[in-house]
Structure 1
C-alpha cells in the first residue's frame, strides 16, 4: 500500500475505532449504576434492568439493517447517521425526565451504536487490500472486546468521581461531535450499489422476528432454565420469533428470485461457509458471556474485595485487546480458518485452567491472559473476513450485520445459561451447609448471587473463628462448583469453535 493510501485510511480507521469503543462501552457501562438509576426514578430492579435489555434489543435489530443500508447508501453517510443517533440518544438519556423517556432514549442510542462496528468492518473489507484487512479488523475487534470488559469498571469510576449517573452519557456528547466533524472531513466516499426499492417486508419480518426471539430469551429464568422454556412468556415468543424468521428467509428467497433486493440475500443465507460463520458468531457471544462473569468469580470464589476486583480484571481486558491484534495478524499470515482453530484451542486451555488450576493471582493471571487472547482472536478479524468471503462485494455490509446479530443472540442466550449455573450453586448453599455442619447447628439462609455480601455477613456472625473459616471454605467450594460448570461449558464452546475451524479448512482443501 502506498504512503498516500495508508494516510487516507488512517483517519477513517481511527474514527471507526473510537466509535466502536464508545458504542461498546454503553452496553455495559450502565450496569454499575442500575440501582442508582432505579432509586432516581423510583422503579424496581426488574424494570431498571430494561435499560440494558432495550439496548441489547436495539443493537440486535439495527445491525443487519444498517449493514444493508451501508451497502446501498455508502459507509460515510451511515456512519454519520449512526453517530448522530448515538449522540442524540446519549443526550436524551442524561436529560430523561422519567424512566419511560429513558428507555426510549436508550433504544435510540442502541440503534445508533449498533451499526458502527459493522460499518467500520465493511469499510475495511471494501477499501483495504486483503493483506491489510486482518490487521485493521483486529484493531476494531480489540476495541469491541476492550469496551465490553472495561464498561462496568469505567462506569464505576465515573459514578465515583462525579456522583451522578448522567455523566456516563454526557461524556459521549463531545466524542460524538468530534466523530461527526472529522467523519465528514476525513472518511472518503465508497462505491454504492444501485438502489432498488427497499425491502420493507423483509425488514418488518426480520425486526419482528428478532424482537420476539430476543424478548423470549430475556424472559428465561436462569434458575429454572428448561422449565421456563415451556412457560407462555418464553415459549410463545420464541415460537413466534422462529416462525417469523422462517417466513423472512422464505420471503427473501422469493424476492431474490423475482429480481428484487432482499435485506439479506437468500444465496448468502444458504451459503454453507456463511452458515458456519454465523454459528461461530453465536459461539463467540458465548465466549464473551463467560468473560463477563469473571469479576463476580473473583469476588465470590477468590475473595478479592470489590474495590480491588477491577485491578484483577484489567489483565483480562488487555489480553482481549492483544488477542484481537493477534487475530488480525494471524488472519493476514495464516488465514482466517487457522486463526479460528488457534483461538479455539487457546480458549479451551484458558477456560479449563479456571476450573482446575486457579487459586491465587498468578494462576488467575495466566488463565485470564489465555481466555482473553482466545476471546480477542475470535472477536476481530477472522469471522469478519469469513463473512466477507461469503458475500458479494455489494453485500458485505449485510453479511457483517447478520454475523453481528448472531453474536448478539449468543450474548443474550449464554449469560442466562451461565447465570443459572451460578444461581443453582447459591441455592445449594443453605441445604449443603446445614447437612455438613449439622452437629454444630450451623444454618446459612439462602440468598441469590446479587446478595453475596449478605451471605458473607451471615458467616461472619459465627462466633468460633475456626468454625467460621471452615464454613466459609465450604461455601466457597459450593459456589466454585457453579462457576466451574460455566467454565467447562465455555471450554466446550471453544472446542466446537476449533472443530468448526477444522471443518471449514477441510472444505477449503477439498475444493483445491
Structure 2
C-alpha cells in the first residue's frame, strides 16, 4: 500500500478528512464551471484575432457544451466499473492538457478541437464529483456538501466572466486557459494523496459501445434542434433532419439498452418514482433558471434602458442568493428530509419569476434585485435536496451514473431554457420593437415560467406520497 493510500485509509472515517476530500474534488468542479462561463467574454477578442464571425465562434462554446452533455452518462457508467480516484485524476489531467492545447491554438478550428478535448476532461470531473462525495459522506450527512457544490457552481458562474475580463484585458485571451494549469496540477497532486480507492462491484461484462454511440447521437442532435431551431427555422430542412436522426437514435438506444447485458444506462432505474420525478423536477428547475439570464438583460436594455455597466451588477443577486441558500437547503435536507425543502424551494422560485412578470415599464432597480433574490433563494433551497433525493433513490454503486445523469439534465435544461425563453418572446404576439410590447412579451414568458415552476412543485409534492427508497451503503 502506498503512503498516500495508507493516509486516506487511516483517516477515512474522520469528519475532517471527508471535508478535505470534498475540497479536493470541488476544486475541479470550480475550475470547470469558471472555464465554461469565462469564454463568453472572449468572443469579441477572438473575432478580432481570427477574423471570424460570431456564427463560427459560437462553436467554441457550443462544441464544449454538446460534448459534455453527450458523454456524461457514458462517463458515469464507466466510472461505476472503475476506481473513481483514478478516473477523477484522469479527468483533471485531460482537462489541464486540453487547456494547454487551447492556449497554443493558432486557428479557430484548432481552438474548437482542443475545446472538445478539454470538454472530455470536464465531463469526467463533473461525472464523478457527486459520486465521490456520496461515498465519502454517510447517508444523512450528504445534504450539506451537495448544497455547497451548488454554491461552488454558482460562484464559478459569477467569477468566470469577471475573471475572464481581467485576464483578457491584462494578459490576452490565452491567459484564461493558462490559469487552469497550476490549478489542475495542484488538484491532481492533492487527489493522489487525499482520495482513497473507491470501487463499485466491477462488471466483467463488455461495455455497451453501441448503446453509448446511439445515446451520444440522440442527445447531441436533439440539443442542436433545441439550441439552433430559432435560427434555422423549426420546420426547416436542417431542423427536421436533426430531429429525425434524434428520434431514430433514441428508438435504437432504448432497443439496445433493453437487450444489452451491460447497458450504458440501466432503464430499470426509471422504475423508481423518486428517481424519475426528481430528474423531471430538476430539468424544469434548470429551464426556469435560464429565464432571468436571457430575458432580464433584454428587458433592461429595451424597456428600462439600463446602462450596460449596471446590468451585470443587477443580475448578481440571483447567484449570490443561491450561494447563500444552497448550503441551507442541504442542511434542511439532512435535518428534515429532502422532499419538503425541495417543494418549498421550487414554489419560492416560481414566486420570484412571478415578481419578474409584474415588472412594468418603469420598474426600479430595487424591484429587480428583490425578484432575483427571491428566485435565487428558491433555487438554492431546491437544488441540493432534489439532488440528494435522486442520488439516494438508487444503489450507491450506481452513483457515478446517477451523478452524471443529474449533470446531463442540468446541461439539457439550460439549453432548453434558452430556446424556450426566446421562443416565448416570439409566441407572445407583441411588438418587440416597442418598449411596451417587449415588456408585455417578457411578462408573458415569465408567467409561462411560473407555470413550469408549479408543474415542478406538483412533481415534487407527489414524491411526498412515494415510499422512501433505502440505499445500499457499500463502498
Structure 1 position 319, deviation (Å): 0.6
Larger Rg: 1
Deviations 1:113-153 (A, max 9, x none): 12323311111222311121000100111112332344334
- What is residue 235 of structure 2 aligned with on the other side? 230
Deviations 1:71-105 (A, max 9, x none): 11122111111111111111211211111111111
Of the candidates 121, 125, 140, which is equivalent to residue 134 of structure 2? 125
- Does residue 247 (structure 1) correspond to residue 256 (structure 2)? The answer is no
Q: What are the residue-to-residue correspondences of 1:17-416 with 2, within 5 Å?
A: 17-162=26-171, 164-196=172-204, 197-221=206-230, 228-255=233-260, 260-293=261-294, 294-357=296-359, 359-379=363-383, 381-416=384-419
Query: What's the secondary structure of 2:246's corresponding residue?
Result: helix
Structure 1 position 429, deviation (Å): 4.6
Q: In the aligned structure 1, how far is the partner of 2:112 from the partner of 2:359?
A: 43
Uncovered stretches (5+) of structure 2, i.e. residues with no partner: 1-10, 471-475
Aligned 8 A contact 1:88 1:109 in 2: yes
Aligned 8 A contact 1:425 1:478 in 2: no
Q: In the aligned structure 2, how far is the partner of 1:3 from the partner of 1:232?
A: 56
Pick which of 318-327 and 271-280 moved more: 271-280
Pick which of 483-492 and 128-137 moved more: 483-492
RMSD in angstroms over aligned alpha carbons?
Answer: 2.4
- What is residue 448 of structure 2 aligned with on the other side? 489
Check 1:68–1:149 CA distance in 2 against 1; reply closer, same or farther (3 A cut): same
Query: What's the secondary structure of 2:254's corresponding residue?
Result: helix
Aligned 8 A contact 1:28 1:151 in 2: yes
Q: In the aligned structure 1, how far is the partner of 2:314 from the partner of 2:424?
A: 23
Q: In the aligned structure 1, how far is the partner of 2:406 from the partner of 2:341?
A: 17
Q: In the aligned structure 1, how far is the partner of 2:103 from the partner of 2:12?
A: 43
Deviations 1:42-77 (A, max 9, x none): 112111111111111011022111212221112211
Q: In the aligned structure 2, how far is the partner of 1:366 from the partner of 1:33?
A: 30
Aligned 8 A contact 1:17 1:139 in 2: no
Q: In the aligned structure 2, how far is the partner of 1:402 from the partner of 1:170?
A: 30
Deviations 1:384-443 (A, max 9, x none): 22222332222111122122212222111220121234567899355xxxxxxxxxxxxx
Q: In the aligned structure 1, how far is the partner of 2:305 from the partner of 2:357?
A: 16
Q: In the aligned structure 1, how far is the partner of 2:26 from the partner of 2:297?
A: 26
Q: In the aligned structure 2, how far is the partner of 1:268 from the partner of 1:230?
A: 34
Query: What's the secondary structure of 2:229's corresponding residue?
Result: coil
- What is residue 459 of structure 1 aligned with on the other side? none
- What is residue 441 of structure 1 aligned with on the other side? none
Uncovered stretches (5+) of structure 1, i.e. residues with no partner: 431-474
Aligned 8 A contact 1:11 1:187 in 2: no
Q: In the aligned structure 2, how far is the partner of 1:366 from the partner of 1:158?
A: 32
Aligned 8 A contact 1:135 1:332 in 2: yes
Structure 1 position 376, deviation (Å): 2.4
Query: What's the secondary structure of 2:230's corresponding residue?
Result: coil
- Does residue 480 (structure 1) correspond to residue 428 (structure 2)? The answer is no
Q: In the aligned structure 2, how far is the partner of 1:296 from the partner of 1:24?
A: 24
